[in-house]
């Protein structure tokens, strides 16, 4: 059986498994005063995708508190509408009812942008237009910029926006003060170091920062489309292109084409597993790692990554990764060039025990499909995602796998300073069949990412 420990007071893990790692069945309960048909209604409207552990009453008549794993949401008596993470959700249509109002509230008129301070790049005929606020140390920004570089017929207004890390400011100043600001910024956003002065006139950079503060831009990347719509963080490529096209249609014809909210769909498809790392305090750190164990980095394996440079992975690791995640790799969707697919990235580490191989791996593709991206923003340094961990047991005759939610995922990247490594690490105790996981970010141990997983 595989069990995963998040904290000393973690809720009972519902993923009880048999020897073949198959999922067990969970039974919900409800408090006195809760109609028995509320659970059935929720299950009907969500097609059973949201597991229910407990239902209780609230001080508001007709509103019930529902516990699902380590998350809580609030449902009405019909089981169709619910408050999830501050948004009102239509659970039958899987629609965020709050989103249209928030979208209107967060609209920024294009003409209000400080366009004279932007780094302007024109692709093709430049007919479509977009602005992006990006931080030089934002990992999602660095992935996103590679995507934007491949877009055709668009004018891109890039705003230097150093807000997520104190070390971002000097990098931004060097790029801003460069005699070729466009080239310097491209180098920075591709992870390259630049030298140069920082003492030039930065009043334009200050203007961008003041605009961001006045318009509540605290996350990177933040995109403003031609019709004023704001897109924050990791938007899936297909959705982004559709939004970009729709913004041009809206601008030219006075129409706003509303799109299905994919984030709401993702939230439901992952059974309302919403990251709250502040509460996910791990039980294991380097100080109490069992004697004789040592931390090892998980290897990153890439598929369809083009010219992107990745740390070396062995052929065996690449073969394992493909065997375990082949379905996901092949279903990532089309890339930007004909016949291509979106890039896939897999962190992996195999261990051999008594004739079987146990493989621990995490998959992400494009803009972190199935993962919760880091909450980049002012003063936030975290750059890891939170994804499902897949554990696979393999022997000569069969292979079985099981997924566990909420494991931190950090690509190994060059350190910002000497000695400040960025790694996802694992230690495996063959005697107790226990795996320990941790993240080292900017050379520091992120204790909220500590996880323990035991195979019984």
Sequential DSSP letters for 324-346 = HHHHHHHTS-B-SSTT-B--EEE
Q: What is the pLDDT of residue 126?
A: 92
Pick the closest to residue 350 from 285, 441, 449, 435 (CA basis): 435
Vertex 216, ends 202 and 422: CA angle to 5°?
75
Q: What is the pLDDT of residue 18?
A: 25
Taken in order 252, 254, 257, 258, the sign of the CA dihedral is positive
Partners of 66 in beta bridges = 55, 73
Partners of 394 in beta bridges = 357, 399
Pick the closest to residue 387 from 408, 360, 402, 401 (CA basis): 408
Cβ of 151: how many Cβ atoms within 10 Å?
A: 18
Q: What are the b/e assignments for 83-117, b being 16+ CB within 10 Å?
A: bbeebbbebeebbbbbbeeebeebebebeebeeeb
Partners of 408 in beta bridges = 386
Beta strand extents in 245-342 (DSSP E only): 296-297, 299-303
Of 198-207, 388-397, 442-451, least confident by mean pLDDT is 388-397
Q: What is the pLDDT of residue 307?
A: 60
Distance CA(39)–CA(54), nearest Å, equals 9
State which of 13-27, 31-45, 434-448 shows the largest mean pLDDT.
434-448
Q: What is the pLDDT of residue 23?
A: 29
Q: What is the pLDDT of residue 240?
A: 85
Domains of the chain, residue spans: 2-98, 104-261, 286-455
What's the mean per-residue pLDDT of the chain? Answer: 76
Q: Which residue did the predictor score with more confidence, 264 or 418?
A: 418
Check if the beta carbon of residue 372 is closer than 8 Å to that of residue 385: yes
pLDDT tens, position by position, 330-343: 776 655 555 667 77
Check if the beta carbon of residue 225 is closer than 8 Å to that of residue 103: no
Q: Which residue did the predictor score with more confidence, 242 or 366?
A: 242
Vertex 455, ends 450 and 456: CA angle to 5°?
135
- CA distances (Å), origin 442, targets 64, 305, 412, 427, 438: 43, 25, 11, 20, 13
Give mean pLDDT, residues 35-63: 84
Compute the half-sphere exposure of residue 235: CA atoms within 13 Å on the CB side of its CA.
Answer: 24
- 161 has pLDDT over 70: yes
Q: What is the pLDDT of residue 34?
A: 81
> Domain 104-261 is classified in which CATH homologous superfamily?
Glutaredoxin (3.40.30.10)
Tokens encoding 436? 């320990």
Check if the beta carbon of residue 395 is closer than 8 Å to that of residue 357: yes
- 253 has pLDDT over 90: no
Phi, psi of 345 (to 5 degrees): -130, 130
Query: Helix, strand, or coil here: 233?
Result: coil
Q: What is the pLDDT of residue 415?
A: 58
Check if the beta carbon of residue 27 is closer than 8 Å to that of residue 12: no
State which of 158-162, 231-235, 267-271, 449-453 shows the largest mean pLDDT.
158-162
Tokens encoding 455? 């195979």
Phi, psi of 73 (to 5 degrees): -140, 175
Of 32-41, 120-129, 283-292, least confident by mean pLDDT is 283-292
pLDDT tens, position by position, 274-297: 222 122 223 333 446 888 899 999
Q: Which residue did the predictor score with more confidence, 157 or 358?
A: 157
On the question of a cis peptide bond just before residue 250, with omega within 30 degrees of 0, the verdict is no
State which of 60-74, 96-110, 252-266, 436-450 shows the largest mean pLDDT.
436-450
């Amino acid at each position: 059986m595989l069990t995963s420990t998040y904290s000393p007071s973690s809720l009972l893990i519902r993923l009880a498994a048999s020897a073949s790692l198959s999922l067990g069945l969970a039974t919900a309960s409800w408090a006195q005063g809760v109609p028995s048909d509320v659970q059935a209604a929720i299950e009907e409207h969500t097609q059973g995708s949201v597991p229910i552990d407990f239902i209780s009453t609230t001080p508001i008549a007709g509103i019930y508190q529902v516990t699902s794993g380590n998350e809580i949401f609030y449902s009405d008596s019909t089981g169709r509408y619910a408050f999830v993470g501050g948004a009102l959700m239509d659970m039958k249509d899987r629609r965020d009812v709050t989103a249209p109002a928030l979208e209107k509230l967060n609209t920024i008129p294009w003409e209000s942008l400080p366009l004279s301070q932007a780094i302007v790049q024109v692709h093709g005929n430049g007919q479509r237009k977009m602005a992006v606020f990006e931080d030089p140390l934002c990992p999602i920004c660095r992935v996103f910029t590679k995507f934007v570089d491949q877009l055709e017929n668009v004018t891109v207004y890039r705003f230097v926006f150093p807000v997520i890390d104190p070390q971002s400011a000097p990098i931004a100043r060097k790029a801003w003060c460069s005699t070729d600001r466009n080239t310097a910024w491209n180098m920075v956003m591709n992870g390259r170091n630049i030298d140069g002065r920082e003492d030039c006139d930065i009043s334009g950079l200050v203007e961008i920062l003041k605009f961001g503060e006045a318009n509540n831009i605290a996350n990177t990347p933040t995109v403003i489309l031609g019709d004023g719509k704001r897109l924050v963080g990791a938007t899936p490529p297909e959705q982004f292109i559709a939004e970009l096209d729709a913004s041009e249609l809206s601008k030219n014809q006075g129409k706003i084409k509303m799109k299905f909210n994919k984030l709401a769909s993702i939230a439901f498809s992952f059974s309302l597993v919403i990251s709250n790392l502040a509460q996910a305090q791990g039980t294991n750190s380097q100080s109490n790692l069992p004697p004789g164990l040592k931390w090892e980095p998980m290897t990153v394996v890439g598929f369809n990554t083009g010219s992107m440079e990745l740390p070396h992975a062995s052929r065996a690791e690449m073969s394992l990764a493909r065997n375990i995640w082949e379905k996901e790799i092949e279903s990532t969707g089309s890339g930007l060039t004909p016949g291509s697919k979106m890039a896939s990235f897999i962190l992996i580490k195999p261990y051999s025990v008594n004739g079987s191989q146990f493989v621990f791996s995490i998959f992400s593709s494009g803009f972190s499909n199935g993962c919760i991206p880091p909450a980049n923003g002012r003063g936030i340094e975290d750059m890891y995602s939170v994804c499902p961990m897949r554990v696979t047991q393999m022997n000569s005759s069969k292979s079985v796998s099981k997924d566990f939610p909420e494991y931190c995922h950090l690509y190994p990247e060059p350190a910002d300073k000497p000695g400040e490594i960025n790694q996802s690490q694992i230690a495996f105790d063959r005697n107790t069949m226990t795996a320990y996981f941790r993240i080292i970010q900017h050379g520091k141990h992120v204790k909220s990412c500590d996880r323990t997983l035991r195979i019984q």
